[in-house]
Amino acid sequence: MAHITNKDKRALLLAAAKDQLLPSAIVLVASLICAGLATGGYVAVADGSVLSLLLAIPLTLLALFLLYLSGESFISSTRYYYESALNRKYGRYFSAEVADINSETFTERRRINGEYQVVDSHTLLYITTHYQGQPLTVEYELPEGREELTDKLKPGMTVTFRMVPGMPATLRIAPQKLTRQLTMLADAAGNDQKLSTPS
């Protein structure tokens, strides 16, 4: 296991938490606004307005949901960026076999001149490997416009990962190394196809 001082852990954790404060604070403020409006609704109910109760209950539920969302997103995002910072500073490269691959493509469309057009599209690969008998899954975003690389990554292949020794939560793919590896496979397949095509 890597030796990481408590001082270094604290510094990395505080840096990760500081980066997540603004998004979580925005959701928290929205929660407080809903809670304030709900409180106003309950006060109006005390004055005999039933309609205010119909508004106050959903606003209360929304405030509670946003409060939960703010805390949960702050904790999970801080943890993810803290583990990534540990990985960048203390992580070691190692090779492991790909056990499973799943992909998901996200497409953003906007209305331009009356028609919906794709303005952004990216593909995420979820790559599973085994570490000390347990399956671990990491994300890898394909480079823009290189969706053909998806077919080059197959279960059983050996790829490069990076992890802080003894800390499986810090496991990440080595994205540049994987992109190079898949590009070389794609180029080799293209050259083989050219050689097999009669002129």
Sorting pLDDT into bands at 50, 70 and 90, what band is 77?
Answer: very high
Long-range residue pairs from 14-21, CB within 8 A, at least 24 positions apart, any chain: 15/85, 16/77, 16/78, 16/79, 16/81, 16/82, 16/85, 17/74, 17/78, 17/82, 19/81, 20/73, 20/74, 20/77, 20/78, 20/81, 21/74
Q: pTM (2 decimals)? A: 0.69
Runs of H (alpha helix) within the chain: 6-46, 50-90, 175-196
The pLDDT tens digits for 80-99 are: 999 999 999 999 999 999 99
Structural fold of domain 92-194: OB fold (Dihydrolipoamide Acetyltransferase, E2P) (2.40.50)
